[in-house]
Structure 1
Amino acid sequence: MLQNPLTHNHFTFNFALKACRSTNSFHKSQEIHAHVTKSGHFSHTHIQNSLIHLYVTGNDIVSAFRVFETIVSPTVVSWTSIVSGFSKCGFYENAIGMFSVMDVDPNANTVVSVLSACCNLKELNFGKSVHCYVIKRLDQENVILDNALLNFYVKVGSLDDARQVFDEMPKRDVVSWSTMVGGFVQRGFCRKAVSVFDEMVKQKEAKPNEATIVNVLAACASLGSLSLCESVHSYVQQRRDIPVEGNVGNAIINAHAKCGNITSAIHVFKTIRFKDTISWSTVINGVAMNGLGRHVLPLFGLMLVHGVPPDDVTFISLLTACSHSGLVDEGLMLFKGMVKIYGGIVNERHCACVVDLYARSGRLKEAEDFVTFVMGMDMEPDGPVWGALVSACRVHGNEVMVRRVRETLVEKGASGGTLCLVSNSYASSSRWDESMEVRNVMSFLGLKKMAGCSWIELDV
């Protein structure tokens, strides 16, 4: 066909480009692009738009923009494609910039694309101006656009605006509800997340999907509410279309374990047919968290027997369990094996666990030597590493080591939480002047300790 120019026109080229896009034949699309140019059809806007869309699909934003620049009068489709392309390829500033200079009215698809860029840049003000445009010029029911606005406000942390958009939506689907639940969970408003989930179930406007369930279970776990956890678990069991597998199964295990019901967590774990790394890591962490540290090593052995590779979270749970159970030698053996076999996953949190292993058994000199060893690697000890060492010094009354650690921390610019531990260590020995001196250093450096919190559920 290409050898006979009379047999093709811009429609045939358009269909050919769509075929290339659907089959990911980007090399062939470049040949067609060349033929389009030679045949004189390149100036047709439909073909130019197809080429932009094709290059965007292949993440070739440079070629897409070159085509866009050749369009004499870009249509809204042209603008939407290039805005979407910049956003999709990670050039968020360019996406917003192109949106700002549009000489045609954006449509809903254009707005969705630019809101995605605003999400990634946390551009609250610009996103709000886009929202104003939507209210003034795109006042029609469009759940996809409304979900994009909702997701934007959630991602930038403006939950009041998100809730207002959510409440004013004429129609809400499962994406709307899941976004709202997930947004509250991510920002720590777990009670509100559970409340939205309850509202969703009662209103029956949309049925919760796996994402909704996983998010609300995370809220239950954060609240430590066993009753809420059991309620959601019961709901999942009633739903035949949501199997207790994969992400849902792992979330149920995690929620039960964090709510103190390790028996149910293990039961759910046993019922999961396809146990992945997350499943094993979650149950190992749950067992360790509930004071059954001596059971984690046999579990880890079973994990390896089943051919499931551990990850960094698995080893953190294992090392923590060994530390809290006094299994110093076993923990050190695990760490050495991890470094030798899985060296790439070793991070500061693992090192903090090793320091804690030494420290809890009173082997402070070895703990300090290990910190020195870590400093000699391409890894800078962080707050947890120093915190474990300082806490041990405080427990065992080793003031000489505290002084050495303090000097190192001030020199390296440690976090407020770690320096606060040093100050408390002095205070516990009634060395108030030194304690105040550390506090003054913190004040001078503008450091503060983040306040901690915990949750318990009361039977009333």
Structure 2
Amino acid sequence: MQRYKRSRRSVVSWNAMIVGCAWCKQDDIAVLCFEQMVREGEVAPDDGTLAAVLPVCGRLGNIRVGRWAHEHARKSGLLDRNVHVANAVMDMYCKCGDVHSAREVFKGMRQRSVVSWNTLISGFSLNGHGIEGIELYQEMRTHGEKPNGVTFLGVLACCAHAGAADVGRDIFQSMLLDHGIEPAVEHYGCVVDLLGRSGLLEEAYALIQGMPMKPNAAIWGALLSACHAHSGISIAEVALKELINLEPWNSGNYVLLGNLYAETGRWEEAGNVRRLMRKMSVQKAPGQSLIEEAEFQFTNA
């Protein structure tokens, strides 16, 4: 379009490129398109541009471009007029680890949706600010905003970070009793993690046994992590056997179970695990390390 001058690039042209690159997981190129759009200055970013580029900045942790987008949204009035843009700004800050800035955006919002509350509650959970997340949930209830399933995922994760087992139990029970929301497997996973972190392994295991749906690998993995932290050997054995049934190709589960038997002196059972690995043709994953190369610059031809 620029080379042949057939048509002038509009905001729709830029947005299509940014959204397309983001959709194809080409986040770096999406940010480069946005920066080029701003640098050329012929077309101003609109709410669609910001709603597309801010999640990309969050995924990349590119707070520099995210802050510029936030400033543009503030100066252009998009931050006040469009709740979706404000939510995207908050989400970007949370994913970049700047919860304080996300909270300031939240405080300045003239109108809020349930997504606004969920974004900040989940942001507190993501950054380990469990108590703040629980307090925000309570503030949400005070304001009369109706929570949804995503709200409970965020606040239950906050309870896990804060070690607030009693609060988490009450919130989990209120899902169905007070709000008519049937807990999904993800909500059960949050409660298992919460109870496990608090050392309540038997209660977590009982919760799994009473689930109305079949536990998945994430559920058993959360229980297993808790068993390692609190020396729950017998329950860890159960969790690992379930994981092997669910993920027979995952060599890590076999290795962990074999090591568990070896640590407790159950050598014959440890040998049985290794023989089972050979029978199932499961290969132990090789060790890997990651080296981050020096940052390089893109140049425009």
Q: Which bracket does the TM-score occupy, shorter chain normalised? A: 0.7 to 0.9
Q: Tell me what 1:256 maps to.
A: 93
Q: Tell me what 2:218 maps to.
A: 384
Tell me how far 1:373 sits from its aligned partner.
0.7
Task: Work out the CA distance in 2 between the residues paired with 1:317 and 1:330.
Answer: 13
Aligned pairs for 1:42-441 (under 5 A) are 170-171=6-7, 172-240=9-77, 243=80, 245-374=82-211, 377=212, 379-411=213-245, 413-414=246-247, 420-421=252-253, 423-424=255-256, 426-427=258-259, 433=271, 436=274
Task: Work out the CA distance in 2 between the residues paired with 1:169 and 1:384.
Answer: 54
Structure with the larger RCO, 1 or 2 (CA within 8 Å, 6+ apart): 2
SS for the counterpart of 2:205 is helix
Deviation string, structure 1 residues 404-433 (Cα, Å, up to 9, x no partner):
22333444x34866x735634654776675
TM-score (norm. length: structure 2): 0.80
Tell me how far 1:206 sits from its aligned partner.
3.5
User: Residues 232 and 210 from structure 1, CA distance in 2 versus in 1: closer, same or farther, beyond 3 angstroms?
Assistant: same
SS for the counterpart of 1:394 is helix
TM-score (norm. length: structure 1): 0.54
Determine if contact 1:390/1:421 at 8 Å carries over to the other structure. Answer: no
Tell me how far 1:307 sits from its aligned partner.
1.8
Task: Work out the CA distance in 2 between the residues paired with 1:386 and 1:285.
Answer: 23
Q: How many residues align?
A: 282
CA RMSD after TM alignment: 3.3
Tell me how far 1:312 sits from its aligned partner.
1.3
Task: Work out the CA distance in 1 between the residues paired with 2:103 and 2:114.
Answer: 15
Task: Work out the CA distance in 1 between the residues paired with 2:52 and 2:78.
Answer: 18
User: Residues 294 and 387 from structure 1, CA distance in 2 versus in 1: closer, same or farther, beyond 3 angstroms?
Assistant: same
Q: Which moved more, 1:397-406 or 1:385-394?
A: 397-406
Tell me how far 1:400 sits from its aligned partner.
2.5
Task: Work out the CA distance in 2 between the residues paired with 1:443 and 1:167.
Answer: 56
Task: Work out the CA distance in 2 between the residues paired with 1:304 and 1:246.
Answer: 20
Deviation string, structure 1 residues 114-153 (Cα, Å, up to 9, x no partner):
xxxxxxxxxxxxxxxxxxxxxxxxxxx9xxxxxxxxxxxx
Deviation string, structure 1 residues 242-273 (Cα, Å, up to 9, x no partner):
64631100011111122121111111101111
User: Residues 380 and 264 from structure 1, CA distance in 2 versus in 1: closer, same or farther, beyond 3 angstroms?
Assistant: same
Tell me how far 1:436 sits from its aligned partner.
4.8
Matching residue's letter, 2:237: R
Tell me how far 1:291 sits from its aligned partner.
2.6
User: Residues 226 and 355 from structure 1, CA distance in 2 versus in 1: closer, same or farther, beyond 3 angstroms?
Assistant: same
Task: Work out the CA distance in 1 between the residues paired with 2:217 and 2:153.
Answer: 16
| Rg larger for | 1
Determine if contact 1:358/1:367 at 8 Å carries over to the other structure. Answer: yes
Deviation string, structure 1 residues 317-355 (Cα, Å, up to 9, x no partner):
111111111101111111011132334352111111110
User: Residues 174 and 422 from structure 1, CA distance in 2 versus in 1: closer, same or farther, beyond 3 angstroms?
Assistant: farther
Deviation string, structure 1 residues 7-44 (Cα, Å, up to 9, x no partner):
xxxxxxxxxxxxxxxxxxxxxxxxxxxxxxxxxxxxxx
Consecutive aligned runs of 4 or more in structure 1 exceeding 6 Å deviation: 166-169
Tell me how far 1:177 sits from its aligned partner.
1.9
Task: Work out the CA distance in 1 between the residues paired with 2:5 and 2:149.
Answer: 42
Q: Percent identity?
A: 29
